Amino acid sequence: MNSIVRAGKSGVLPGEVYLDGAFTAMRLQDVSHRSFQLLHVASHFRFSPGTEVNSFLLLGDGQQLTLGDIRTRNYRFDNVDLLTLSACDTGLGGGRDAQGREIEGFGVIAQQQGAKAVLATLWPVADQSTATLMAEMYRRRQEQKLTKTEALRQAQLSLLSQGRYAHPFYWAPFILMGNWL
């Protein structure tokens, strides 16, 4: 988060950081209702096809926030222009529950809850390369005033040009859903 949120001389964007025990369900709910153009969630996520109960975001206090909780409780992202879900498999959905209802992924549910755009992932992501990509994307968006999609594309190309992150595993799992501008 130090490479993203400006604290002292590091970071690209002004903002607030909630780490470890400070990143709770209540804190996320509070932040989701405030007027942040960007909400960046960096954590662990587990998608289990066919069940909202076993698909969850791991919070800093060790609690599991399930997809069902996000969908049915008061998590609204109406004021968020870009919700970045920097965790594994946040763009996945699939399977059906016991009632035959298709299970939507975190990215889709976040859009249904009001986020104008969601940056999500299609497979497990590596921490260091993901942090590098995110910082580069935000830097380009901020300094060059690029659209979300162009900033993401340029950040992906930047990773691709680095030998250690040239494999698609590192730069290709990121998808932008919703408003690309």
In a domain, 109, yes or no: yes
Q: What is the mean pLDDT of residues 164-174?
A: 98
Give me the CATH number covering residue 126.
Answer: 3.40.50.1460
Phi, psi of 36, rounded to the nearest 5 degrees: -105, 130
In a domain, 167, yes or no: yes
Q: What is the mean pLDDT of residues 26-40?
A: 91
| Cβ neighbour number for residue 75 with a 10 Å cutoff | 19
What does the pLDDT look like over 47-78, one tens digit per residue? 999 999 999 999 999 999 999 999 999 899 99
From 9-23, 63-77, 158-172, the region with the lowest mean pLDDT: 9-23
Q: What is the pLDDT of residue 46?
A: 98
From 2-11, 56-65, 67-76, 123-132, the region with the lowest mean pLDDT: 2-11
In this structure, is the dihedral angle defined by the CA atoms of residues 73, 59, 61 and 7, taken in order, positive or negative? negative
Mean pLDDT of the chain: 93
Domains of the chain: total: 1
Q: What is the pLDDT of residue 36?
A: 84
Q: What is the pLDDT of residue 21?
A: 94
Q: Which domain holds residue 119?
A: 20-178
In a domain, 134, yes or no: yes
| Cβ neighbour number for residue 61 with a 10 Å cutoff | 13
d(CA 93, CA 108): 8
Tell me: pLDDT of 8 over 70: no
In a domain, 92, yes or no: yes
In a domain, 60, yes or no: yes
Query: Hey, which bits of 9-127 come out as E strands?
Result: 38-42, 44-46, 56-58, 64-66, 82-86, 117-121
| Per-residue confidence band for 35, with pLDDT thresholds at 50, 70 and 90 | confident
User: 130 burial class (0-12, 13-18, 19+ CB within 10 angstroms)?
Assistant: buried
In a domain, 162, yes or no: yes
In a domain, 170, yes or no: yes
> pTM score, two decimals?
0.92
In a domain, 8, yes or no: no
